[in-house]
Amino acid sequence: MSDDPRTVLVADDDEDILQLVAFRLERAGYTVVTAADGQQAVAAAREHLPDLAVLDVMMPGLNGYEVTRQLRADAATAHIPIILLTARVQEADVSRGFEAGADDYLRKPFSPAELRSRVQAILARRSSVR
């Protein structure tokens, strides 16, 4: 981890998930910004320009796919890697996420350690590309 902590945006309408994800990522040294719905997530991404976003698929207002599309369509946020958190396990839903522009997905119920590993892997990959 560099001296400058990486910022991760976590968006989920389930407060418990928000707390669990935020707690684990903060313990791993990340700065966490939270959002409780899709609109807040888009606004927070534009304001904070996080290094990575973890988005729930089923959120009120804008769902995770739509947030992903909006972030990809905006030049300022298009580069942000996105992990989708989904309770849906069907192949079609996973491919829908990738088609929208997500980099990875994680199935709910989730393992916080696995989430942290995926966040680390994606950020490390991005750093090595730059």
Partner 1 sequence: MIELLQLFGAALSVLALATMFVLVGRRVALSRRERRRARLEAELRPVALALVDGEEVDLPRLGTAEARALAAILGRYARKLRGEPRERIATFFEERGDVQRELRRVRSRRSAQRAAAAFALGDMGSDSAIEALIGALDDRARDVRSAAARSLGMLEAEAAVPRLVGSLAEHEVPRAIAGGALLAMGSRAAPGLRSLLDADEPAVRANAIELLGFTGDASDADRLDAALREDHAIAASRWREFAEVRAAAARAQGRIGTRRAAGGLRAALNDPAPFVRTAAAHALGRIGDRDAFDALARQAGDDLYDPAQAAAQALAAIDPVRAMRLGGDEGASPHLAEAAALAELEPA
Q: Which residues bind partner 1 (CB under 8 A)?
A: 14, 16-17, 19-20, 23-24, 27, 89-91, 108-114
Q: Give the count of alpha carbons within 13 A of 30, CB side only.
A: 25
Output 20 or 123, the one with its CB closest to partner 1.
20
Distance of closest approach, residue 69 Cβ to partner 1, in angstroms: 15
Nearest in space to 104 (alpha carbons), one of 87, 121, 128:
121
Output 47 or 99, the one with its CB closest to partner 1.
99
Output 30 or 77, the one with its CB closest to partner 1.
30
Say which residues have a Cβ less than 8 Å from residue 8's Cβ, sequence separation at least 6: 25, 30, 31, 32, 33, 50, 51, 52, 53, 54, 119
Distance of closest approach, residue 62 Cβ to partner 1, in angstroms: 22
Distance of closest approach, residue 89 Cβ to partner 1, in angstroms: 7
